[in-house]
Structure 1
């Protein structure tokens, strides 16, 4: 493996507590920021507005992000930002809002402040953006040389968010351990930075397997509990630490390559990011021959209704030729699946996807 190792450990400032958003105006004033460009979604903004502070001393422009994080939308918003003298960008919403805000902030050479409304990814924590093509397929990851300036998490907003998005976040974050371990286990002497990443990845797995159901029960009852707070911070902070300290050794390997490849199929677009990653974990484990690990995870997947196979994602009808297309996309030269110790070809991935389907049917 010849991978990058640059530590981007954390945002400049991070706060997770009830009432965290109430301090936003104070944070802005401390930074001398008086004019802010506020990027938000649609449904998430409706949920967030009751908690968003009025900030009478701050001039504000509110902009709907448009639904996608693409180069084209980045260019449009960069132009809009540069037409006025704004001090910063505040991204309020889920992963795509955060990623678009980071991309625009980097282009505009301005700080990015993120107020997540979901715990579906670690996007609020990490200085990178997932860029998509206009057809909805994933294009690339852009990693930025500057940290996010401030992350404020209001747990109440996430408590009332759609439960299926939290479940997808659990699927995405659970993958941190399996993907990082497939790379880190190849190292004879892991550096201190990589040891921190490995600790965070293992902690992600342990917290999620032990506390996810109690956290989801809190969302059902709309009563905060410690398990809910732990899972929120695992999905956002701990998940972000894995890549933040491990860099290429802690970001993605097999599971995310499968996710990226699935995005070429329009049938997959209705599936949440974390669900496709969770499926990718199983494909990766088949490639590694870790059937016992799959058996141990199946009850957890079933409990949370995470997909174990293509059929669970409503994609049982896809043809062998389409599976081959996915396998070829998953194994293009730049994909991180090649960080695994196994020799990966499209035939290896294709066979793993078919084997997994057959194995789950027998279960």
Structure 2
């Protein structure tokens, strides 16, 4: 493999500590920012309000948004930004709001500040946006040359976030190891940057297997524990480092291709991103002829209530739907082709169906 290798290691500034959000005014002042397009969801703003500092000395243009991160919405909010003479974008919410903000920020070349209310993806850390179509199907992901200006993580906000989203984040982050290792393992010589990505990917797996269940227990009890914060930073910082340092060698492989393909089915849209990726890990392992690792992961999946099959996601596919998903998973630009073995739609169908049989045995 001879992909380009560009390090996009981290946001310009990253803070994760109790009281981090209270420092937001200081960060705005030192950046000389006064008027911001404030993008947030209805639920995310409700969760965030008691932790947000007094921002009355700043001019905020409020945008409530809870739809897809799509080109149409980017164009609309880009126009709004210009009309209102804003200087920067402040995003409070989950991954799609963060990705929306980053896409607008890139197009307008303005700073983006992100305060995540979920630890379901590494979107608050990475300079890329996953773009969807208006119908909820995945379109593409765009990588930007600009880093996020500021990522402020308030652990208490995430402690109170929906547990299902944290679990989905664990599923998404677990894929960093299985996808990254499958690609990096093929390299005869591993550049230092990719070594960093490989280390971060392994730490993702180790941290999640060691502390994942403890983090969920902490959320249920409302206790801000070291294990909880470790998992939060694993889902956001460590996960972001894998692609940030590894670039195409550390971003995605088959697990995310399976996720992308499932989004063409409307019955998959109620499933969180990380759940579909977690299922995709098992399909990837089946494609790699590694049922032993699947069996080793199953106890963790069961404890975390991660889906182990289509059946677990309440999805029963017709043969026509299997064919459509497999065809979408193996389009030329999909990362499934980064696996060592040549991938075809037929192999994907076989792997998915064999996994269903294995899980129902």
The ranges of structure 1 where at least 4 consecutive aligned residues each deviate by more than 6 angstroms after the TM superposition are none
Alignment-derived partner of residue 288 in structure 1:
288
| Distance in 2 (alpha carbons) for counterparts of 1:11 and 1:157 | 20
Q: In structure 2, the residue corresponding to 1:15 is in which secondary structure? A: strand
Shift of 1:135: 1.0
Shift of 1:109: 1.2
1:289-343 Cα distance to aligned partner (Å, 9 max, x none)? 111100000000011110011000001x211211111000000000000011011
Q: In structure 2, the residue corresponding to 1:6 is in which secondary structure? A: coil
Alignment-derived partner of residue 336 in structure 1:
335
Alignment-derived partner of residue 318 in structure 2:
319
Shift of 1:186: 0.1
Alignment-derived partner of residue 302 in structure 1:
302
Alignment-derived partner of residue 268 in structure 2:
268
**Structure 2: which 5+ runs fail to align?**
none
Alignment-derived partner of residue 166 in structure 1:
166
Shift of 1:106: 1.0
Shift of 1:84: 2.0
Q: 5 Å matches for 1:127-138?
A: 127-138=127-138
Q: Does 1:83 align with 2:83?
A: yes
Alignment-derived partner of residue 50 in structure 1:
50
State the number of aligned residues. 361
Q: Does 1:142 align with 2:133?
A: no
Shift of 1:107: 1.4
Shift of 1:56: 3.1
**Structure 1: which 5+ runs fail to align?**
none
Shift of 1:52: 1.1
Q: In structure 1, the residue corresponding to 2:36 is in which secondary structure? A: strand
1:33-77 Cα distance to aligned partner (Å, 9 max, x none)? 111111001111111111111123211111112421000000000
Q: In structure 2, the residue corresponding to 1:81 is in which secondary structure? A: helix
Alignment-derived partner of residue 357 in structure 1:
356
Alignment-derived partner of residue 210 in structure 2:
210
Alignment-derived partner of residue 194 in structure 1:
194
Q: In structure 1, the residue corresponding to 2:92 is in which secondary structure? A: strand
Alignment-derived partner of residue 114 in structure 2:
114
Shift of 1:86: 1.2
Alignment-derived partner of residue 348 in structure 1:
347
| Distance in 2 (alpha carbons) for counterparts of 1:147 and 1:65 | 23
CA-based RMSD? 0.7
1:112-139 Cα distance to aligned partner (Å, 9 max, x none)? 0000000000000000000000111000
TM-score of the two chains, using structure 1 as the length reference: 0.99
| Distance in 1 (alpha carbons) for counterparts of 2:45 and 2:86 | 21
1:174-216 Cα distance to aligned partner (Å, 9 max, x none)? 0000000010000011000000000000000000000001100
Alignment-derived partner of residue 60 in structure 1:
60
Shift of 1:160: 0.3
| Distance in 2 (alpha carbons) for counterparts of 1:4 and 1:208 | 30
